[in-house]
Amino acid sequence: MSEAGEHDHEHEHEHEHEQHGRGTSVPLEIVDAWWRAANYLSVGQIYLMANPLLARPLEPADIKPRLLGHWGTSPGLNLVYTHLNRAIVERGTPTLYVCGPGHGGPAMVANTWLDGTYSELFPAIGTDAEGMRRLFRQFSFPGGIPSHAAPETPGSINEGGELGYSLMHAFGAALDNPGLVVACVVGDGEAETGPLAASWRGHSFLNPVTDGAVLPILHLNGYKIANPTLLARIPEAELVDFFRGNGYEPLLVTGGFDGEDPMAVHGRMADAVDVAYERIAAIRADAAAGAFADAAPRWPAIVLRTPKGWTGPRMVDGVQVEGTFRAHQVPLAAVRENPEHLAMLEAWLRSYRPEELFDRDGRPVADLDALRPHGDLRMSATPIANGGIVRSLDLPRLDDFALNVDPGDRGDSAESTRVLGEWFAELMRRNPDDVRLFGPDEVLSNRLGAVFDVTSRVWAEALDPLDEHLAREGRVIEALSEHLMQGMLEGYLLTGRHGLITSYEAFIHIVDSMVNQHAKWLESASRVPWRGDLASLNFLLSSHVWRQDHNGFSHQDPGFLNIVVNKQADVARVYLPPDANTLLAVMRHAFDTQNRVNVIVAGKQPAPQWLTLAEAEAHVEQGIGIWVEAGNEPGYDAADPGASVPDVVMACAGDVPTMETVAAAQLLRERLPDLRVRVVNVVDLMRLQDPSHHPHGLPDRAFDAMFTTDAPVIFAFHGYPSVIHQLTYRRANHRNLHVRGFIEKGTTTTPFDMLHLNDLDRYRLALDVLHRVPGLEGGTGVAEIADEWRAARSGAREYAYEHGEDPDWITAWRFATPPQA
């Protein structure tokens, strides 16, 4: 091990542990044996479908017909796993292994099989020769397991497919897990991604007393698929600066090059791991004694530099493979066809001396027991990683937080998210250990400041007397990175806790891909019987498209809903509460669900309030409902909505579209009192979808009773109209459905002008009705509405711009005055 020692640096005094004595309870020979066994099992998975123990010479028929998999990263991942096992056995420190490098599946599976966990969880894959054969065969095989760590991999909380999220998952896992070490192997390819680059500083939100520790292990094997990696090619002094600049003291372990004996590398790696665990223990002890009050600790990190595909074939067909990008996937490509390759594979496998590692029945030899942690201390078996520790929350009653809405006089103005903030603060107060709030510097801006009566934002860096709501301890985490916030929340949820992320609506697209991957994880995990249920991933999207008074076009994008509605029906939920009490009821429901992605869109600006708490709860329970008072449908009978036939249905989803629809219905009621208008409000968007496509889908009979099968439907929607068409195209009345929503027209302007630009304002909606209901065009009241529309439209732009006054804002606010139902 090198301590970055050639660099003269002010932090040199922290190196006091350098001359530590290494624990000796597990001889390095056994460490090496475990590593060889894991390497053997990794190679076996890539190549073999029979003859797993090489009981006889390899034959072409033993080889898989198509060779798929990634050898390059495996020996390094195996080395780390082996040495972490040693640390756990010697110290008893609970440790989680987060595997960042892509396609590390063979290594993770190999070690969990050696742990015994794999056979416990998958009884068909026993810890014997037949189990080993099946283990090999299923890898990257039709109907088998993928080549990366995945939900099917015991002990994994990180998918090795889309790279970049391992370290943020690790930091999320460490939160509120005092005593835990989360060891996170970061691949040098993955380290080039933006999300990973942003997560090095995750420790700035870690409290060494109340949280666990994250031990990053940067694995420099030098190459990605076809290119060298950046961090492997910069000068070593620069690499050390990079770690120090990110708040770490790096421990450098380099070895295995030019045929170096692995035993020497084991010695250095064992030293580095020991130093790291000891420093973490010291940081904890110092922090508990008060040191954290003064300064952030400097955490250890390990930089492990070994050849790509180490111990694999060095030269193949005349070119170097080990230590180059050519070792990334399958070093020997033509094993079935080429006898020379077949012989090389056999020699490679035998180089691990399997006869010393497995008995004749294929069971790991007894020597390896010394390196196998007991029970849940096995990294593959810890309930923290496998969904085993989720606790039901103590959810506060809504009654104490609901707005008092008078059903006889609806429409008082309030900020919905501010109301939510009070409830959420109580939620955090009642559940002080396992609820967190994450936001990209927008918790206050999104009106959730009440949480700061209960807790603070946690901050491990320097504090200033002028800081507000910032402290060494706190349950709110804010950094200006949607990626980091999303990733830490995912890590927190994946290890059995609960949380909410709040974001500007437009910018949540930044994490589209992360949400896709998390939804895929949930979907795949639901088919893995030994994984426990997880708390849902809950989003509150505020500062939405319709209220960006001083922001421009770049802040206006409701397309995240399009992403979510394409996710699997078991997972995806979208809620558009029209007011504060509905928001409360939706959020309480969201925190009562498991294994979902709940997306809740709600404005933070003053807006009319419609429903009492009881009404809101019933509305959320139904997910969709007819707002009788807002419409104009004499004789309507709630017990039999299909019996009444309205002339038009005005549907709405979203707080601003609801306001405009209610106002448009009022305009129509005033001008055309004989027009039978029905107002339908949708809070649970998936109610619209065909029930064969989504479990929340309203049965056709109920849908038809509500929307009719032949009346025009004017649907005012918060997002892109495509979402509504996508959800309703199978419905009988879809041909009469006319959707207004965001049509990508935006700029820096007033709320009313935004609606006007996108044809979603109340006048436009009323005119839509007049255009679609036969016989109304040109009739009484129509000209009036058209005149008002033109006046408002003019006021929205030209007047405000040409004159020194400001009629538009005034107009907009007047418009916001709720109509009396």
Q: Which of residues 552-581 bind its own copies (CB under 8 A)?
A: 552-555, 557, 559, 562-563, 565-568
Residue from 244, 341, 544, 687 in contact with its own copies (CB under 8 A):
244
Nearer to its own copies, 70 or 671 (CB): 70
Please report whether residue 479 would count as binding its own copies according to CB under 8 A. Answer: yes
Is position 709 an interface residue for its own copies (rule: CB under 8 A)?
no
Note whether 218 and 183 are within 8 A (CB): no
Which stretch in 92-100, 121-129, 223-231, 528-536 sits in contact with its own copies by CB under 8 A? Answer: 223-231
814 is an interface residue for its own copies by CB under 8 A: no
Residue list 414-443, contact with its own copies (CB under 8 A) = 441-443
Query: Do the Cβ atoms of 156 and 106 come closer than 8 Å?
Result: no
Single residue of 95, 207, 481, 733 touching its own copies by CB under 8 A: 481
Binding mask 521-540 for its own copies (x = CB under 8 A): --xx----------------
**Taken in order 236, 237, 240, 246, is the CA torsion positive or negative?**
negative
Contact between 771 and its own copies (CB under 8 A)? no
Q: Is the separation of the CB atoms in 218 and 189 below 8 Å? A: no
Number of alpha carbons in the 13 Å side-chain half-sphere of residue 368: 21
The interface mask with its own copies, positions 138-167, x = CB under 8 A, is --xxxxxxxxx-x--------x-xxxx---
Q: Does 363 bind its own copies (CB under 8 A)?
A: no
DSSP state of 699: P
| Closest approach of its own copies to the CB of residue 152, in Å | 9
Give min distance, CB of 366 to its own copies, in A: 32
Counting Cα atoms < 13 Å in the Cβ hemisphere of 180 gives 30
- Distance of closest approach, residue 677 Cβ to its own copies, in angstroms: 24
Contact between 725 and its own copies by CB under 8 A: the answer reads yes
- Rounded to whole angstroms, how far apart are CA atoms 446 and 281? 39
Q: Find the part of the chain contacting its own copies (CB under 8 A) among 51-59, 196-204, 584-592, 760-768.
A: 196-204
Site for its own copies in 1-30 (CB under 8 A): 7-10
Q: Does 293 bind its own copies (CB under 8 A)?
A: no
Specify which residues 502 forms β-bridges with.
Answer: 540
> Per DSSP, what are the bridge partners of residue 437?
476, 500
Window contacting its own copies (CB under 8 A); options: 83-91, 113-121, 588-596, 802-810: 802-810
Which one of the spans 82-90, 348-356, 475-483, 663-671 is the region binding its own copies (CB under 8 A)?
A: 475-483
Residue 86: strand, helix, or coil: helix
Q: Binding marks (x or -) toward its own copies, 49..88, rule CB under 8 A? A: xx----------x---xx-xx-------------------
How many residues does this entry show for the chain? Answer: 821
Q: Which residues contact 349 (CB under 8 A, 6 or more apart)?
A: 40, 43, 44, 54, 58
Torsion of the alpha carbons at 661, 819, 684 and 688, rounded to the nearest 10: -30
Judge contact between 114 and 372, C-beta under 8 A. yes
Size of site (CB under 8 A) for its own copies: 132
Q: Residue 187's beta-bridge partner residues?
A: 219
Q: Are 405 and 578 in contact (CB under 8 A)?
A: no
Radius of gyration of the chain (CA): 31
User: Is the Cβ–Cβ distance between 762 and 821 less than 8 Å?
Assistant: no
* Interaction of residue 195 with its own copies, rule CB under 8 A: yes
Maximum separation of any 2 CA atoms in the chain, in Å: 95
Among 23, 116, 228, 388, binds its own copies (CB under 8 A): 228
C-alpha 213/C-alpha 95 separation (Å) is 10
Q: CB atoms < 10 A from the CB of 50, how many?
A: 13
* Residue from 2, 119, 254, 445 in contact with its own copies (CB under 8 A): 445
Residue closer to its own copies (CB basis): 243 or 591:
243
The single residue among 374, 806, 814, 817 that binds its own copies, judged by CB under 8 A, is 806
CB of 273 to its own copies, least distance (A): 23
- The CB-side HSE value for 347 (13 A sphere, CA atoms) comes to 11
Q: Does 612 bind its own copies (CB under 8 A)?
A: no
Complex with its own copies: residue 225 or 288, whichever CB lies closer: 225
| 466 belongs to the binding site for its own copies (CB under 8 A) | yes
SS3 763: helix
Minimum distance, C-beta of residue 420 to its own copies, in the bound complex (Å): 18
